[in-house]
Amino acid sequence: MSSLLITNIGELVTNAPPDAAAPRSGPPDSATPPDSGAPDSGAPYGGAPGPGTFASVADAALVIEAGRVAWTGPAARAPAADESVDAAGRAVLPGFVDSHAHLVFAGERGAEFAARMAGLPYQAGGIRSTVAATRAATDDQLRANLRRLSGELLFQGTTTFECKSGYGLTVPDEARSVALAAEFTPEVTYLGAHVIPPEFDRDLAAYVDLVCGAMLDACAPHARWVDVFCERGAFGRDEAAAVLAAGTAAGLQPRVHANQLGPGPGVQLAVECAAASADHCTYLDDADVDALASSATVATLLPGVEFSTRQPYPDARRLLGAGVTVAIATDCNPGSCFTSSMPLCIALAVREMRMTTQEALWAATAGGARALRRTDVGHLGVGARADLIMLDAPSHSYLAYRPGVPQIAAVWQAGKLATA
């Protein structure tokens, strides 16, 4: 087994406390010092629930062994390794964790975007044109689109992503959507309750029964998560609760599209269901913020959507001030936000939502991991999966400081060089 030392790192973002050198359960003073070169147990760093914080080491080094982070610390104290890479003062960050994406679809909606920019408001019903194109596509066409988009994600530094169904909306089309998504990521979400398909226009109850019955049975074996678009014009509180309950009974874990287009019951429902994440959170009242702050439900903000629809941005400062755990994700989809770029979303979070560069970077890595209930990604503590980005810049702040500029010099996934 060969080890790799990456040294001369200008800024190593670990998102791990300095005493998190090894997975542990004891008090902090029993922890192994960060530079002891302790053997990697292979167990992920068990980040406790609650607000986490950005953490970094200057003039650092990192050792990868067997696909995991084996050591981090000051470069001057780095242990020897079989191979080494000189970062030449550049920054190394955890790979981005994009916890919200809709990548199983066919067709595109460039004309709808152009019309919206010319003054037409976004409405959830636009999803239906993508549903028609997706139903008409072959498996190979859907797979090719997934391959192209997952490649885009990787080249922009995303090493873990979630992928939803939701453009099939029949039993066979949803079943193939989750099965195709599972070829590309383990974080597959069943979103039969994305929009009400045209053939059920007059019978919402019958469609909810299908989503909770035969469609769920066909999708659950390929999915980890169940999601619902809880919004006026989509699914109301009772329907959304039924979908989440049925999904949970089938072994899936809940997450919710909540409070995107207006105030509504989505966030409260997400917290009541102990959902991993309430996504969008654009229109919140005080009770919604309090509910999130006193729960383990992550608020996942999707600023690319507000950018692409000219809607008001969520109030990230209010959420962070209340102690809510915040994640940032792309919501990559052909309608409301067709970007796969986490660096763009970080820049928007900083510029438009007034997050600090450290908060935004944390939200795009560790925050996304929390939203997917993953402890092995989103940080570079010892034992983490060796998913990391080398920036062509000395600091993570360049992601927002130089918006739109390609700065991902290399990406490692589970210790293997994926791009360079």
For Zn ion, the closer CB: 101 or 400? 101
Q: How far is the CB of 166 from Zn ion (least distance, A)?
A: 8
CB of 194 to Zn ion, least distance (A): 8
Give whichever of 162 and 387 is closer to Zn ion, judged by the CB atom.
162
Q: Are 170 and 199 in contact (CB under 8 A)?
A: no
Under rule CB under 5 A, residue 227 binds Zn ion: no
Nearer to Zn ion, 16 or 226 (CB): 226
Judged by beta carbon, residue 162 or residue 359, the one nearer Zn ion is: 162
Nearer to Zn ion, 311 or 419 (CB): 311
Q: Which residue is nearest to Zn ion (CB)?
A: 331
**Least distance to Zn ion from the beta carbon of 384, Å?**
27
Cβ 377 vs Cβ 95: under 8 Å: yes
Task: Closer to Zn ion by CB, 105 or 398: give it.
Answer: 105
Part of the chain binding Zn ion (CB under 5 A), chosen from 124-132, 194-202, 243-251, 324-332: 324-332
Residue 306 touches Zn ion, criterion: CB under 5 A: no
Cα dihedral 380, 383, 387, 389 sign? positive
Number of residues that bind Zn ion (CB under 5 A): 1
**Alpha-carbon distance 331 to 54, whole Å?**
23
- Among positive and negative, which fits the CA dihedral 335, 184, 147, 379? positive
Say how far residue 180 (Cα) sits from the centre of its chain.
19
Quick one: tokens of 392? Answer: 């062509």
Cβ neighbors of 282 (< 8 A, separation 6 or more) are 259, 260, 261, 306, 311, 312, 313, 314
Please say which residue, 187 or 331, places its beta carbon nearer to Zn ion.
331
Give helix 237-249 / helix 204-212 axis angle, nearest 10°: 20
Site for Zn ion in 56-95 (CB under 5 A): none
In angstroms, give the least distance from the CB of 372 to Zn ion.
14
Smallest gap, in angstroms, from Cβ of residue 102 to Zn ion?
6
- Closer CB to Zn ion, 21 or 142, in the complex: 142
Contact status, residue 86 vs residue 8, Cβ threshold 8 Å: yes
Q: Which is nearer to Zn ion, 239 or 279 (CB)?
A: 279
3-state SS of 231-295? CCCCECHHHHHHHHHHHHHCCCEEEEEECCCCCCCHHHHHHHCCCCEEEECCCCCHHHHHHHHCC
For the bound state, the minimum distance from the C-beta of residue 205 to Zn ion, rounded and expressed in Å, comes to 24
Q: Which is nearer to Zn ion, 306 or 331 (CB)?
A: 331
What residues from 326 to 345 belong to the interface with Zn ion (CB under 5 A)? 331
With a CB cutoff of 8 Å and minimum separation 6, the contacts of 24 are 30, 31, 32
R_g (Cα) of the chain, nearest Å: 21
User: Does 162 help bind Zn ion (rule: CB under 5 A)?
Assistant: no
The residue ranges that bind Zn ion (CB under 5 A) are 331
